[in-house]
Amino acid sequence: MATEAMSAKPIRLAIVGVGKIARDQHLPAIANDPRFELVAAVSRNAVVDGVDNYHDIAELLAAGHELDAVSLCTPPVGRSAIAMTALDAGLDVMMEKPPAATLSEVARIEAHAVAAGRSLFATWHSREAAGVAPARAWLADRKVQRVAIAWREDIRRWHPGQDWILEAGGFGVFDPGINALSIATEILPGDWVVNNADLHVPEGRMSPLAADIDLTCGDIPVTAAFDFLHEGPQQWDIVVETDGGTLKLSMGGAVLDIDGKVTEATDAEYPGLYAKFADLVGSRSSDVDVTPLRLVADAFLVGRRTIVPAFEW
């Protein structure tokens, strides 16, 4: 179904999974990028106006649309089968974070993409935040002494009624927390290790609502505090102390503060992701970095679980 020469024509795209993140971020980014043409949507519970809508990817493919690519915005559990079905159909694939429920699934999808000769993009939207690239450049010339991550937000505000996020494979507080890890591993490339973790799991649920993690990047100590029940002002901060001053990324990477000099820019995370996907499709290449997912998996493996009171919406 995919065409090999798309330089003169927009990439004909279907979006799979029409939830909050798709409506808030993906659909506006697609609409504002002339390199893409949204031709269909797939969802069990929602529709996108102005395009054909289908219940599942099999129904989409059976309809015979002229398609080049799909953007997968479903929950991570079950995404592997959808991705491989799309690749088998000759489509390029972009995946919302986290790319799949397990590292093995990501490896399988990536191998499938290589065999099919298609482009695969495992996205980390927070890496596109305005302050991330300049933070990495500033840190490259300095000796980092320690890092502190504080990622605290309200699950009821950002994921109302979404029980899947607290089930097995739903990641719990690591659904937002993995965004922090994606930024940290981008601005400080190196050998990251999870040393230990404390996971607070509500009674009757499978995934934690809070976590405290001790990590290292090479010989740099890193602490991370994740909280999914944080009311009031939301907090998405990374503080990096160096021999040449202190760097702070706040608001999820949108605001960069270096020793009191603050730079703030408008949100361009998802437009940046789609620009990268267009480049990958055009060059017939892929971008699959599992480092943030590996750290989350390690935290689940070594984490000490404490059962806390039941969570209700």
Give the pLDDT of residue 5: 41
In this structure, which CATH number among 3.40.50.720, 3.40.718.10, 1.10.40.30, 3.40.50.880 belongs to the domain 11-122?
3.40.50.720
Shared fold status for 11-122 and 127-266+297-308? no
Residue 4: per-residue pLDDT: 43
Catalytic site positions: 97
Q: Please give the radius of gyration of the chain, using alpha carbons only, rounded to the nearest integer.
A: 20
What's the pLDDT score for residue 197?
Answer: 98
Alpha-carbon distance values, 76 to 42, 147, 194, 296 (Å):
16, 29, 22, 14
Looking at the structure, give the CATH architecture of the domain made up of residues 127-266+297-308: 2-Layer Sandwich (3.30)
Q: For each of the chain's 313 residues, which pLDDT tens digit applies?
A: 544 444 469 999 999 999 999 999 999 999 999 999 999 999 999 999 999 999 999 999 999 999 999 999 999 999 999 999 999 999 999 999 999 999 999 999 999 999 999 999 999 999 999 999 999 999 999 999 999 999 999 999 999 999 999 999 999 999 999 999 999 999 999 999 999 999 999 999 999 999 999 999 999 999 999 999 999 999 999 999 999 999 999 999 999 999 999 998 777 899 999 999 999 999 999 999 999 999 999 999 999 999 999 999 9
What is the pLDDT at residue 8?
Answer: 67
Residue 169 · residue 163 · CB < 8 Å: no
Nearest to 250 by CA among 235, 261, 265, 240: 235
- pLDDT at site 267: 73
The structure tokens listed for 216 are 């290292």
Q: Could you state, in order of their start, the residue ranges of all structural domains in the chain?
A: 11-122, 127-266+297-308
pLDDT at 9: 92
Closest by Cα among 100, 130, 242, 253 to 180: 253
- Rounded to two decimals, what is the model's pTM? 0.94
Contacts of 150 (CB under 8 A, 6+ apart): 224, 225, 235, 236, 237, 239
